[in-house]
Amino acid sequence: MRDKTQANSAAPGDGLVRAGAIVFFVGAVATLVTVAPLFLGTTPFPTYMFGLSMLMGVGFLIAGAGVLRSAAAGRRRARANAVSGQLSEQ
């Protein structure tokens, strides 16, 4: 039996994974910008830049929530298919 889900359809949690990747990337760039003056011997950036570096962790958590949401939807879909398969056998 072929899966009825289209290859290009958005599954639950896909948006969270994409948003988490973007936030993580912004945090990674902020981390590089914050650490660069330490190696270059220039004046350090203001303290809020260190706060922006924390976006890496936030992005990771957002993406993880998206993965968990996608897994939960897959479990629900598998459970529904199993129940409908049992009903059709009766």
Burial 12-40 (b: 16+ CB within 10 A, else e): ebeebbeebeebbebbeebbeebeeeeee
pLDDT in 10s for each residue of the chain, 90 residues: 455 656 666 778 889 999 999 999 999 999 998 888 888 888 888 888 888 889 999 999 999 999 999 988 888 888 888 777 666 665
The pLDDT score that the predictor gives to residue 1 is 47
The pLDDT score that the predictor gives to residue 60 is 95
Q: Which of 60, 71, 72 is nearest to 24 (CA)?
A: 60
The pLDDT score that the predictor gives to residue 5 is 57
Q: What phi, psi does 87 have (nearest 5°)?
A: -70, -35
Helix 55-89 to helix 14-40 angle (10° resolution) is 160
Task: Judge residue 49's burial from the number of C-beta atoms within 10 Å of its C-beta, 0-12 exposed, 13-18 middle, 19 or more buried.
Answer: middle
The pLDDT score that the predictor gives to residue 90 is 59
pTM: 0.74
The pLDDT score that the predictor gives to residue 27 is 94
Helix, strand, coil % in the chain, rounded to nearest 5: 75, 0, 25
